[in-house]
Chain A
Amino acid sequence: MTTAQQDSPVAIRFSGVSRHFGAVKAVDNVSMEIYDGEFYSMLGPSGSGKTTCLRMIAGFEQPSAGSIQLHGREVAGVPPFERDVNTVFQDYALFPHMTVGDNVGYGLMIRKVPKAERKRLVGEMLELVRLPGMHDRKPSQLSGGQRQRVALARALINRPSVLLLDEPLGALDLKLRQDMQIELKAIQQQVGITFIYVTHDQEEALTMSDRIAIFNHGRLEQVGSPTEVYERPATAFVAGFVGTSNLFTGESAKRISGNDHAFTVRPERIRIISTDQAAPSGARVGDGVIKDVIYLGMNTRFLVDLDGGDTVIVMQQNLDNSASFDSSTRGQRVRLIWPIDFERPVVLE
Chain B
Amino acid sequence: MRSDTALEPRAGWGLKIATGAGLLFLNFPVVVIILYTFTTETSAFTFPPPGLTFEWYGKLLAERPDFWRALGLSLQVAIAATTVAMILGSLIAFAVHRRSFFGKDVISLLVVLPIALPGIVTGIALRSSIVIFGVEFSIWTIMIGHATFCIVTVYNNVIARLRRTQHSQIEASMDLGASAFQTFRYVIFPNIATALLAGGLLAFALSFDEIIVTTFTAGQQQTLPIWIFNQLPRPRDRPVTNVAAVIVIAITFIPILLAYRFTNRVSET
Contacts and interface: CB of A to CB of B under 8 A. Distances in A.
B129 interface: no
Contacts of B179: 81
Contact of B177 (A58, A90, A158): A158
Contacts of B191: 96-97
A97 B178 contact: no
B172 A93 contact: yes
Interface stretch (A3-11, A36-44, A106-114): A106-114
Contacts of B166: 91, 93
Contacts of B173: 95, 106
Interface in A253-277: none
A59 to B, nearest CB: 8
Nearest to B183: A81
A60 B171 CA distance: 7
Interface string A71-108: 00000000111000111011101111110000000110
Nearest to A60: B171
Nearest to A96: B269
B182 interface: yes
Contacts of B182: 110
A140 interface: yes
Interface residues of A, number: 28
B269 A140 contact: yes
A110 B174 contact: no
A154 interface: yes
Interface string A211-249: 000000000000000000000000000000000000000
Contacts of B175: 58-59, 80-81, 85-87, 155
A86 B174 CA distance: 10
B128 interface: no
Given A97-B191, A110-B182, A87 B172 contact: yes
A219 B95 CA distance: 35
B168 A81 contact: no
Given A91-B166, A138-B269, A140-B269, A154 B190 contact: no
Contacts of A81: 174-179
Given A93-B169, A95-B169, A96-B269, A110 B190 contact: no
Nearest to B193: A97
24 contacts: A58-B171, A60-B171, A81-B174, A81-B178, A85-B175, A86-B176, A87-B171, A89-B168, A89-B172, A91-B166, A93-B166, A93-B168, A93-B169, A93-B172, A95-B190, A96-B191, A98-B190, A107-B176, A109-B186, A110-B176, A110-B177, A154-B172, A155-B175, A155-B176
Give the 3 A-B residue pairs with the shortest CB-CB distance, closest first.
Answer: A93-B168, A93-B172, A107-B176
Given A89-B168, A110-B178, A110-B186, 19 more contacts: A80-B171, A81-B177, A85-B175, A90-B168, A91-B166, A93-B169, A94-B172, A95-B186, A95-B187, A96-B191, A98-B190, A106-B176, A106-B178, A106-B186, A111-B177, A138-B269, A140-B269, A154-B176, A155-B175
